[in-house]
Amino acid sequence: MERYVHRVNYYETDKMGITHHSNYIRFMEEARVFFLDQIGWGYAKMEEDGIASPVLAVTCDYRHSTTFSDVIEVEVSVLKLSAVKLQIGYTMSCRGQVVCKGTSTHCFLDREGRPLVLQKALPDFYSALAALIPPSA
């Protein structure tokens, strides 16, 4: 699976010249959109099918700072998948060093905002995600 690449913009840095911590959450979202597009289930497709996928929780573990113009590679992985929730992991690296690790947890809703059982509502999407969970998970 191809990694998502983000070059830190000047406006994403703070007065100290480092990438502001809040931007790593944005990088995770950018990488998630890229990842879902890669597996053929992008947000546009889900929305066409009447599916919303709100964020339930986010974690971010900052390891090293980055600065303007640094290139951050984001590796996305499926950590957990249940009938109603998906947890995605993110490992962000710069110059071969892990700079941030994070997770996001999502559910799936229909057009009326009711929870969906993904395996029943979109079995092909569920199978595509399930196939990406490492055997040890």
As annotated, the active-site residues are 14
Output the 3-class SS for the chain. Answer: CCCEEEECCHHHECCCCEECCCHHHHHHHHHHHHHHHHCCCCHHHHHHCCCECCEEEEEEEECCCCECCCEEEEEEEEEEECCCEEEEEEEEEECCEEEEEEEEEEECECCCCCECCHHHHCHHHHHHHHCCCCCCC
Q: CA 116 to CA 25: how far, in whole Å? A: 25
